[in-house]
Amino acid sequence: MNTDKVDAANAAALTSPCVGICTLDAQSICLGCQRTADEITRWAVMDAAERDAVLQRIEGLGAA
């Protein structure tokens, strides 16, 4: 098994939608990536389905 491919796949799965504009609005939504504070906090421990749901939601907003 090629561990380089596995590590690359894991890194891609954890890639955050963060755009470096990390400011929360009054509803605790990031002005940069449109994730909630909870989504930002939990991102690294979310499973693939949870991350996909977040990405689909923010893509629907036109943020990603």
Residue with the larger pLDDT of the pair 63 and 55: 55
Contact 21, 34 (CB under 8 A): no
Evaluate whether residue 4 is within a structural domain: no
- The whole domain housing 63 covers 18-64
Contact 40, 30 (CB under 8 A): yes
pLDDT attached to residue 11: 55
pLDDT attached to residue 62: 74
Can you tell me the distance from the alpha carbon of 34 to that of 5, in angstroms, rounded to the nearest whole number? 30
pLDDT attached to residue 39: 97
Evaluate whether residue 13 is within a structural domain: no
Evaluate whether residue 27 is within a structural domain: yes
pLDDT in tens, 9-44: 555 556 899 999 999 999 999 999 999 999 999 999
Structural domain count, the chain: 1
Does residue 60 carry a pLDDT above 80? Answer: yes
Evaluate whether residue 60 is within a structural domain: yes
